[in-house]
Chain A
C-alpha cells in the first residue's frame, strides 16, 4: 500500500485525450522528475501546463492536475496527467512512470486505497469488494487467454532452466562436502546465464503482448503497379477520415496513413514493389520494401482479380510468409474468376468500397482484436510486459555482477528474482520449488 501506483484512467480507444492517474507518497516527486515546469511545494488542486521530458526528448505537451493529500480520491497525493490520446504517447508516458518507480495499479486498486484510507463509506465498500472480485476474475481469465499455451510453455522452459541452475548452486552451498556433484563455477555460470538470457530476450521480443496495443498493426501493401494499391489505401483512409492522424516523420518507414480498427491503430505502409532491378535508386527502394515486408505484421498483397495470380505474382508470393499474408483480389468490374490459392484471400473493389469490411474483419480475426480491445486487456498486457522486463533486468544485472567478480552467492539472488518475476507472470507463487528441485536433482544427505 505504500508504493506509488499508476494507470491509464480513461477508456481505451481513440479519444482526443487520455488521462494517466498516479497516486501515492511519491506521486508528485516522480511526475516532477519528468515534467518541464516546477510543481511548487504547497500548490494543490491546480492545473499545470508543461511538457513530459524523458532522456532529453519531449514526449508530449500535457496538463497536470496536482492534488495533494488528503483531499483526494485515494487520500494520497494524486497527479493526473492529461496527455494527447493515442496509444503511442499514452503508453510511452506510462512506461516512463513505471521506469521511474511507479507500480502498475491492480484492478480496482485506486478504489481500494480510497476505501482503506477511509475515503469511502462502509456501504460503498461492499461495492468495492465486488468490484475487486469481478475485475480480478475477468483479469485472470483474460491473462490466461492471452498467455495461452505456447507462451506458458516457453516461460516454463526458462523457469526450468533457472531452477535447475539454482538448485545446483544451492546444492554446492548446502552440501559442499559432496564432491561428485557438478560445481557451478563462474565460467560455467556465465555460460548458463548467457544461454538463459538468449531465451529470455527472445521471449521479451516475441511476447510483447502490449505491442499491438501500443504500436498498432503494421500493414504493408504490396503488389505490381496499377493493381489498385493506392485506391485501397485511399478507400481505407477515406472511410476513417475523422481519425486519420498525420504521423509523417515519426517513423523511418513511409507510413501513408493510420486508421483505427476497434481502437487499434493500423498503420498502412506502401511499398515500392518488389522487382529485380539494376537501377540504383530503385534498388534502394526495393531493399527498403524487403525490410518492411520482414518487419510488418500483415502483408496485403494486391492482385488484379480479372487476371488472377500471374506468374510474376507467384514469384513474389513465394517469397512471402504465408501466415502473415492476405491477398486482396481487386476487381474493376463484375468479371472475375475464382482464384485458387493457399493464401487467405479477400475479394473486393477498392473504388466502390466493396469487400473492405471483409478485409477489416479478417484483420480483427487475425489479431484477436475484438478480445484485445477490452478494457482490461491493456492492464494485463502491461503488467506482463513489465514483469518480463524486470525478469530480464535481473538476469542482466546478474551477468554484469559476474563480470565485476561478485561472488556467486550474491548473483544467485538475481536468478531468484528473475525466477520470481517469471512465476508471477503465470500467477504462480514461488513456494518450495527450489528445495523440491534440489532433492529431486541431487542425491545428498546422511
Chain B
C-alpha cells in the first residue's frame, strides 16, 4: 500500500512524484518504460515566452524542471531582453540525452520514491473514491491517491499519410483501455491531436548556406539557486531555414495524401491552433512567400537535428520531396519521419482547481491528459497535483494559485473554468496581470508560499531570504541617500544629458523618472556589493511603479470577489431568473467563488447579481442560527 501512485513518468509525472515524496509520503512512480522517463518527445528546448516564466515558477515552488534544464542545456537565451522587462523569458536548447539522465538522478536521490515499470489499464474505485491501479498483467497496486499523468499515451494512434499505427509517441506502447475505463466511470473523454516534425541526420545537412542562431553571452539560469553548468563558448548553434515556392507546390499537390487533409484523422480530433502543421500554414497563409523553420540539435552525443516548423502528416515519400526542396537540405537524410498523433484526454471542466477529479475522489490528473500541450505546462500541473495530493492526505486546504500569483494559476484557472477546445498552450497574452507575473520575481511571488506548505526546503528558503534581504537593503540605501543639487551634481546630470532635478531628491524617487537608470545612480552611490539580479528587481519595480501599481489595484478588487465563496452544496436550479445557459455552465463548472464564476463564458453580470442575492438569502439564514 502506497500513499500516492503517479501513473506516467513524463514531465508532469516526475514533478508530481518528486514533490509527493519530498513532502514525506510514500510514492510509487509507474512508467511503461523506465528507460524513457523525462522523455522530450518533441522539441529539444525548454522555456520560451511565458513558458520560461513557468519553469522559474516551478523552481520557486521546489520543483525540478529548472534545475534539470540548467544542468543539461547547450544554449540559452533571454528572450525579449531589449523589448521590456515584463516579458523577458529564458529559453534553452536542451540535450535530449542529458536531460533524462539528470532527472533520473534527481528521482533516485529522492527518499520515499519508488520507480516501477508497468502499463496501467484501469483504476480501482470504491464508493466513488480511487483506491489504486490495475496493470495490463492484472497486477494491482493500492494507494490512497492516484495521479494520472498519461501524456499522449491514452488510446493513441500515429498518422503518417494514410498509415495509421496503433502506438504511443515514437513507437512506445500505448494504454489501450484506461481512457475507455475512465469513460465508464463518468469522465468525459475528448480526442486531441498534435504532431512532431522530422529528425534529420546532421552530416547530410549543408550548414554553410544556413543562417546561424547563437545563444546569449551571459550565464543565465532558470533555477534561483543553481550555478551555471556550462561554458559560454561551448554553446551550440541553431540554424534558420526557409520554405520556398517549390516546397509550397509539393505540399499543395499532395494535400489529399496528408492524414489531416485526406480525411484519415478521427472525426472531431482537434489539433492545436498555435502549432499548425506545415500543410496548415500553406493553406491558411497562402499569400506568404516563405515560412521560417529552425534547425535545432537534439544532443551533442548523437548527430540528429530537429526541424522546428515543419510538422506534418504527409506520407513518407512526400516528406522526402518537401525536405529536399529546402535550401541546405537538398541531400538531407531523414532519421525519423514527421507524424501526427491522436490521443484521448479528459475534459478539464470535470476537475477542480486543485486538479482533483470532481467525479472520482482522490484521483488527480496533470499534463496532456488535462488537454494541455508543452513540457512546461505539464510540469507545472504535475507539481501542483503532487502538492494538492499531499495536502489532501494531510486534510489541509488545497493550494490554489490565483491568476495574479503565477502563470501556473492562469493555466489551471483557464483549464477548469473555460475548458479546452484545442490543446492549451501558455501565452503571455493569456495573463491579464503579466506586469506582475515576471520571470525575475517568480521566487518572490511563490517561494514563501511553497515553504509554508512544505514543498520548498529550508535550504532553498534560506537562499531566498538572503535575496529578499538584499533587495530590501538596496531599496533602503537608495531611499536614504539624498541627492543635494550642488554644482558638482549638476555637472554629472549635464554630462549625461539629463535634466537636473529642481530640488534635493532621494535616489529611489529619482529612479522613478523615465530617463534615469540605476547605472546612472552609480555616479552617486556605491552599489558594487549588490548582485545584478537585485539591482534589476529594484529598477523594474521602481521605474515602472505607475503601471505596476495600477495592476496591483486591479488585483485588490479581484481578490475581494475571490473572498466571496460559493458553498459546495449550492443548488443552482433554485436561483430564480438566472439565464439557462448561465445555470447549466455554473452547474457544470461549480466555481469556488464569485470571481471564478464571473469568468465563465455565458455567465453575465446580471446572473452574478442574482447569484449573489441568492447566496445572501439562502446562506445568511445559517449565520443567524
* Residue ranges of A at the interface with B (Cβ–Cβ < 8 Å): 1-3, 106, 112, 115-116, 118, 122, 125-126, 128-130, 132-133, 136, 166, 170, 172-180, 401, 404-410, 413, 416, 429, 431, 434-436, 438-439, 443-446
Shortest 4 CB-CB distances between A and B: which pairs? Answer: A407-B84, A409-B84, A404-B514, A445-B275
Asked if A439 contacts B551 (CB within 8 A), the reply is: no
A406: B residues at CB distance < 8 A: 514, 544, 547
6 other A-B residue contacts (CB within 8 Å) besides A410-B84, A443-B276? A112-B612, A116-B613, A130-B577, A177-B292, A413-B550, A435-B273
Decide if B86 touches A410 in the complex (CB within 8 Å). yes
B577 and A434: CB pair below 8 A? no
Q: Which of B316-324, B349-357, B375-383, B422-430 contacts A (4 or more CB under 8 A)?
A: B422-430
* Residues A179 and B87 in contact in the complex (CB < 8 Å), given A2-B557, A132-B606, A406-B547: no
Q: B43 contacts which chain A residues (CB < 8 A)?
A: 446
Nearest opposing residue in chain B for A176, CB measure:
B79
Given contacts A180-B292, A429-B601, contact A413 B609 (CB under 8 A): no
Report chain B residues within 8 Å CB of A112.
609, 612-613
B613 pairs with A128, CB closer than 8 A: yes
Please tell me which one of the listed residues A116, A136, A172, A405 contacts residue B83 in the complex, with CB atoms under 8 A apart.
Answer: A172
Report yes or no: B428 in contact with A173, Cβ–Cβ below 8 A. Answer: yes
A166 CA to B432 CA, complexed, in Å: 13
CB-defined interface of B451-470 with A at 8 Å, one 1/0 digit per residue? 00000000000000000000
Across the interface, name the chain A residue whose C-beta is closest to B425. Answer: A445
**Option from B197, B240, B429, B616 in Cβ contact (under 8 Å) with A174:** B429
Interface centre among A130, A436, A446 (most CB of B within 10 A): A446
- Docked Cα-Cα span, A173 to B88, in Å, equals 9
27 A-B pairs with CB atoms under 8 Å apart are A2-B560, A106-B605, A115-B613, A116-B616, A122-B617, A136-B606, A166-B429, A173-B80, A177-B79, A178-B292, A401-B547, A405-B515, A407-B84, A408-B83, A409-B86, A410-B435, A410-B544, A413-B547, A416-B432, A435-B427, A436-B273, A438-B427, A443-B285, A443-B291, A445-B276, A445-B309, A446-B42
- Interface residues in B19-75 by Cβ distance below 8 A to A read 42-43, 49-50
Cα distance, A438 to B49, chains bound together (Å): 14
Interface centre among A136, A178, A443 (most CB of B within 10 A): A443
Which residues of B lie under 8 Å from residue A115 when comparing CB positions? 613, 616
Classify chain B's interface size: 35 or more
* Complex CA–CA separation, A254 to B515 (angstroms): 51
A416–B275 Cα distance when bound, in Å, is 25
Give A179 to B240 CA distance when docked, in angstroms: 10
With a cutoff of 8 Å between Cβ atoms, the chain B residues found around residue A1 in the complex are 560
Q: How far is the CA of A106 from the CA of B605 in the complex (A)?
A: 10
Cβ B576 vs Cβ A129 within 8 A: yes
B294 interface contact, C-beta 8 A = yes
Do A174 and B427 touch across chains, with their CB atoms under 8 A apart? Answer: yes
Contact A129 B275 (CB under 8 A): no
Q: How far does the alpha carbon of A401 sit from the alpha carbon of B87 in the complex, in Å?
A: 17
Interface residues of B in 179-221 (CB under 8 A from A): 196-197, 213
8 Å CB contacts to A: which residues of B359-405? none
In whole Å, how far is B624's beta carbon from the nearest beta carbon of chain A? 10
**Cβ–Cβ contact B613 & A125, under 8 A:** yes
Is residue B288 contacting chain A, with contact meaning CB distance below 8 A?
A: yes
Question: Among A133, A439, A446, which residue has its beta carbon within 8 angstroms of that of B308?
Answer: A446
Taking a contact as CB atoms under 8 Å apart, the answer to whether B429 and A446 are in contact is: no
Instruction: Name the B residues within 8 Å of A435 (CB-CB).
Output: 273, 427, 429-430
Chain B residue, CB-CB nearest to A409? B84
In the bound assembly, the distance between CA atoms of A404 and B543 in angstroms comes to 11
B281 at interface, CB cutoff 8 A: yes
Instruction: Kindly report which residue of chain A lies nearest to residue B276, judged by CB atoms.
Output: A445
Residues of the A chain whose Cβ atoms lie less than 8 Å from the Cβ of B311: 446
